[in-house]
Chains A and B, each alone.
Chain A
């Protein structure tokens, strides 16, 4: 079991609310990622980070933002949630020092915006 945690696991909110999805890992990994996954569809990378103060946008355009102030923490924020943001959000981390760079995933946050 990977030591990567996400909170909350489930969230139902109204349109226009600001939310922050938390992700933390205790493995000391430099690389962290946020993915969005809809039912029956592939994971889409929305943000990634190579280390503290490093953040980049992924392949899928997202209105969310991220920050990386500490190695172990990589929160994702939606300033104004909309129904189109309803999805599962998965956080992952990997060790940049390994050749295989296997990503370890958190349990995910299921977000529903009404």
Chain B
């Protein structure tokens, strides 16, 4: 069964600290993996996207890694800011069908305290 599991479910850190969010998936065949940021009451916004051949990608203070062999990805946030408080969703695309189906994780709820 194709699944995307994220950990931790929630995380609280102090402003200025770093953190790492985890994503494990069983989706096959794998096409790409995205990290989205979803602010409360808003739609998700894409942060990074990685294909099979990419193992790291950065977007400002966000750095995503991908290990396609172990089917794991991580999102590292450096020098956290209050505006980083949001849900971070891992999304995997299988391209096994014409739809290019997306599998969503439940997200990690990050709270940054001053």
Contact = CB atoms under 8 A, between A and B. Distances in A.
A41 B42 contact: no
A43 B101 CA distance: 12
In the A-B complex, the 8 residue pairs with the smallest Cβ-Cβ separation, listed nearest first, are: A105-B43, A42-B104, A43-B104, A42-B106, A105-B44, A106-B43, A107-B43, A108-B43
Interface in A21-48: 40-45, 48
Given A92-B43, A108-B41, A110-B41, A103 B99 contact: no
17 contacts: A4-B43, A40-B9, A40-B106, A40-B109, A42-B89, A42-B105, A42-B106, A43-B89, A90-B44, A92-B43, A101-B100, A102-B34, A102-B49, A105-B44, A107-B41, A107-B42, A108-B42
Interface of A: 2, 4, 6, 40-45, 48, 90-92, 100-108, 110
A40 B34 CA distance: 19
Interface in B39-88: 41-46, 49, 51
B43 A90 contact: yes
Name which of A40, A91, A100 has the most chain B CB atoms within 10 A of its CB: A100
Interface residues of B, number: 22
Given A43-B104, A102-B34, A48 B49 contact: no
Contacts of B34: 102
B32 interface: yes
A28 B46 CA distance: 19
A100 B44 contact: no
A101 B42 contact: no
Contacts of A110: 41
Interface in B3-52: 4, 9, 32, 34, 41-46, 49, 51
Given A41-B106, A42-B105, A42-B107, A105 B100 contact: no
Contacts of A106: 43
B11 to A, nearest CB: 14
Contacts of B106: 40-42
Nearest to A4: B43
